[in-house]
Chain A
Amino acid sequence: EVQLVESGGGLVQPGGSLRLSCSVSGFIFDDYAMSWVRLAPGRGLEWVAGISWGGGNIVYADSVKGRFTVSRDNAKNSLSLEMTSLGPEDTALYYCTRKIQGVSNWFDPWGQGTQVTVSS
């Protein structure tokens, strides 16, 4: 069974940092690109960052560029998201998801998410 389990969320003050992790199982991790997607109240889903199967190609949404860093450890079947300079606008439920690549790309499956709250 394919599983993605996020961890590392929590309450952080504005300007602070947080590192999210995603542990995966049930598929060959280094065969797939991965992404982080967040769900903020009233704002819907927002794609945050993506990383290729080998980690050599990384892309970010403009809203997090320069502040967030995505990485992966294929030996540990693990995906990470390092978040710095956090602001209230980063408050969201963060999902780890596998990218299905082909003629076009979609995301399947998704983890259950980890909540990040930025507040003083």
Chain B
Amino acid sequence: QSVLTQPPSVSGAPGQRVTVSCTGSYSNLGAGFDVHWYQQLPGTAPKVLIYRNTNRPSGVPDRFSGSKSVTSASLTITGLQAEDEADYYCQSYDSSLDAYVFGPGTKVTVL
């Protein structure tokens, strides 16, 4: 059972806005540890999409954005595209476990 929780799936039509939530607790997000987001396209390795809550690596489209608020974080895709269909994972650090932790992943489906 993950210490970070994510919805199993979200979906939207092309062009719509979808949000993936990531909820933590006092020992991870609530302790001030940053959240990072990864995209895993089918059959490929995970790729960092957002780092340190809100930052996009070069090459990541600006339709992807991140936010964080105390014990929760969100990844928003504005203007959903077919190629965004993938699994998305949040990641942080947990001081109680002394370990890096991932959410269980959210499958984004483009209708």
Chain A contacts to B: CB under 8 angstroms: 35, 37, 43-47, 50, 59, 61-62, 95, 100, 102-113
Contacts and interface: CB of A to CB of B under 8 A. Distances in A.
A42 B106 CA distance: 11
Contacts, number: 66
A38 to B, nearest CB: 10
B95 to A, nearest CB: 12
Given A43-B104, A103-B52, A112-B45, A59 B33 contact: no
A44 B99 contact: no
Contacts of A103: 34, 52
Contacts of B70: none
Nearest to A111: B45
Interface string B2-15: 10000000000000
B47 A50 contact: no
Contacts of B51: 100, 106, 108
Interface in B10-55: 33-34, 36, 38, 44-48, 51-52
B18 to A, nearest CB: 19
B97 interface: yes
B102 interface: yes
Contacts of A102: 52
A106 B48 contact: yes
A106 B36 contact: yes
A109 B103 contact: no
Nearest to B102: A45
Contacts of B102: 37, 44-47
